[in-house]
A and B are shown apart, each in its own frame.
Chain A
């Protein structure tokens, strides 16, 4: 549960891994909106990929725009340049649209916090189903805690998955008729068919 809290620790501006922060991160025009449509599309695409790499690296499932403005994601301490609030929202808006492959989703109408789908719920569901089949646990009842916090799933990617994200992914399985969720709010179980 420590990882699911909203008060996520922000990474420091030191020791930024190059696999995440690529060359464009040190290109000053990267932080200014471009008026030319062709260049603008290229710029937004790079920002989308960059944000997904960043959240995957730090296992962030949602972003608060205001809290993240000073993080290395939107502010380059070396160049002393960063995106403004308006520009950052524009980038997330792009990610939430079909043009951006719907890699983001606003959590409320005020558009302050957004899910970052560096892996979509359907994709998470696929991972879980594959694991259940590999371990031969079809037909048995598993608790949600066991799935994301249990010892058996410690080496899996969905270990530490956000609870809400887990529920979203299981709901996709329920719609397909491949799983069933039991129990009350506190104690929930799932059985895979």
Chain B
């Protein structure tokens, strides 16, 4: 299942699917399945595309080419080369347990490749092992018997006749020592058997073996002394089979010849095809083996980098969205065909251009729709969160409302809860005077300081009375655009001036105009100022002569004249004159010249 058969083009290259892109090509590549070479796939080209990793054999491309789908790859590894081993890239398949329906297919499909692997790996292992023929030749003659020395009582015991060193394992039943009855360790017996087999090759050696245990005097001969082991402690010449000195029981060094033979034995066992074949059959049921690409001519790093990029991009997922790539494929051959058929087809090219522009506009519109959709979704989420905050603030307000029974108490939790309910005017009024929002009270003090600042003289230049809107504009303008105050907050702060005992106050005229005044300002003082001014106007000037008796009545004044006289704004001047009229100090004259105010002589007798 992991390895698939790719379709090849006439030039023996993998046929790419419509949206598949070729990323990298490398020659001198061999293919492995698991740990074993695939004999027929040891020299070819490796093709990496956005969807697959393909191997195309050089000798027989049609029969020996294989492909691995990247979507079936669980993970990938890169191994550097070492000595004779070439660098390799390993692809691990995804576990097939996730798809129960395909287990049977995976098992059935793997058996042919497994057989191929077995057939291909056996000859290579035989060729690479020179020890193999001697092992095979020794099998028909199992009558060789060696002896092993007991490490406890040093008694020489015979190796069992049915003991075969090539097949025996630790579970093999070995009889105990004939002298002391202790069971020997398995490696000791194995080494004895191997040594016996190795020593059968030279002809004169068996005789020396038989003579050595009988007499020690003959062991000092030249031939025998070359094989003896000298004890490093007491310098006693021991038999080459001995592992412990006979005199002082010191451990004896192992000769080089025995070490070399042991290594050869282990190497031959690892390369034996017999047990591995059975092991692989067991593995087949559990999991499919990984696939390796062996790069004998280099190029493994580039291959691996592009493999990682392909795994990250996952272009094979685009197959689930066919509308996107189809128009591009349909459009791309058209402009190529047009100039070949008709060289002077400019009108068609222009049409294609306009179609391209329309397509671009359509894409832009889609992008805008996506952006707007996201914005509205975020806005709705924000509104939902705001509703939760408002509900929480209302709950705080209701809980804090129960404490209004305690007059004059302003605790910190109550103030903080009021601050949380900032902006909820109806609920905040229920709390009481002691629970004004901290922000509003601090703003009120700040505004009072600002309006009564002697250096600026804001309120003084306005004749002591200034409309709230004018003060709001002046204050925000002085903030240089940072931390501006909203009209509602400004109004709340102005309403708090009376409570906080600040030197300015908020006043409302009959028309609804709100003005800021010094605390000591009063209507009586204003009326007195106006009457004094109008009385001073009774003095006649030689320039003009009125139709009425100026010395008796004076003259009528407009709001503009009053504004100039007292420094008020025009709105404040109009309001002040109407206030004086309301109090009976003035009366009005309406005419084409405008609205004029006179001292009130209508209430006096003629």
Q: Do A and B bind each other?
A: yes
Residues in chain A within 8 A of chain B (CB atoms):
22-24, 26-36, 38-39, 42-43, 46, 78-81
Bound complex: CA A138 to CA B601 (Å)? 51
Show 9 residue pairs from A and B whose CB-CB distance is below 8 angstroms, ordered by the A residue: A23-B552, A23-B601, A26-B548, A28-B589, A29-B588, A33-B590, A39-B587, A39-B600, A46-B602
Residues in chain B within 8 A of chain A (CB atoms):
547-549, 552-553, 556, 581-582, 584, 587-591, 596, 598, 600-603, 606
CB distance from B151 to the nearest CB of A (A): 134
Which partner residue on chain B sits nearest A28 by CB separation? B589
Of A24, A31, A36, A81, the residue contacting B581 (CB under 8 A) is: A36
Bound complex: CA A31 to CA B602 (Å)? 11
Q: Given A29-B588, A35-B581, A39-B584, A78 and B547 touching (CB < 8 A)? A: yes
Of A26, A30, A80, A81, the residue contacting B602 (CB under 8 A) is: A30
Of A36, A78, A81, the residue contacting B591 (CB under 8 A) is: A81
Chain B residue numbers with a CB within 8 Å of A81 are 591
Bound complex: CA A150 to CA B600 (Å)? 50
Chain A residue numbers with a CB within 8 Å of B598 are 27-29
Q: Given A39-B587, A80-B547, A27 and B581 touching (CB < 8 A)? A: no
CB distance from A160 to the nearest CB of B (A): 29
Chain B residue numbers with a CB within 8 Å of A33 are 590
Bound complex: CA A151 to CA B51 (Å)? 141
From A27, A28, A81, residue with most partner B Cβ within 10 Å: A28
Which partner residue on chain B sits nearest A50 by CB separation? B606
Knowing that A32-B587, A46-B602 are A-B contacts, what are 20 other residue pairs whose CB atoms are under 8 Å apart, sorted by A's residue number? A23-B552, A23-B606, A24-B606, A26-B548, A27-B548, A27-B553, A27-B598, A28-B556, A29-B587, A29-B598, A32-B588, A34-B602, A36-B581, A38-B584, A38-B603, A39-B600, A39-B603, A46-B606, A79-B547, A79-B548
Bound complex: CA A34 to CA B588 (Å)? 6
Which partner residue on chain A sits nearest B593 by CB separation? A28
Bound complex: CA A36 to CA B510 (Å)? 13
Bound complex: CA A79 to CA B590 (Å)? 13
Chain B residue numbers with a CB within 8 Å of A46 are 602, 606
Bound complex: CA A35 to CA B577 (Å)? 13
CB distance from A31 to the nearest CB of B (A): 8
Contact present for A22 and B606 (CB under 8 Å):
yes
Contact present for B602 and A42 (CB under 8 Å):
yes
CB distance from B81 to the nearest CB of A (A): 109
Contact present for B547 and A24 (CB under 8 Å):
no
Bound complex: CA A34 to CA B596 (Å)? 12
Bound complex: CA A27 to CA B603 (Å)? 12
Which partner residue on chain A sits nearest B581 by CB separation? A36
CB distance from B585 to the nearest CB of A (A): 10
Chain B residue numbers with a CB within 8 Å of A32 are 587-591
Contact present for B602 and A29 (CB under 8 Å):
yes
Of B547, B549, B552, B582, the residue contacting A36 (CB under 8 A) is: B582
CB distance from A115 to the nearest CB of B (A): 25
Bound complex: CA A147 to CA B603 (Å)? 43
Which partner residue on chain B sits nearest A24 by CB separation? B606
Chain A residue numbers with a CB within 8 Å of B549 are 23, 26
Contact present for B548 and A28 (CB under 8 Å):
yes
The list of the 6 closest CB pairs from A to B, nearest first, reads A22-B606, A29-B587, A28-B589, A42-B603, A29-B589, A32-B590
Which partner residue on chain A sits nearest B606 by CB separation? A22
Bound complex: CA A43 to CA B591 (Å)? 17
CB distance from A17 to the nearest CB of B (A): 14
Contact present for A26 and B588 (CB under 8 Å):
no
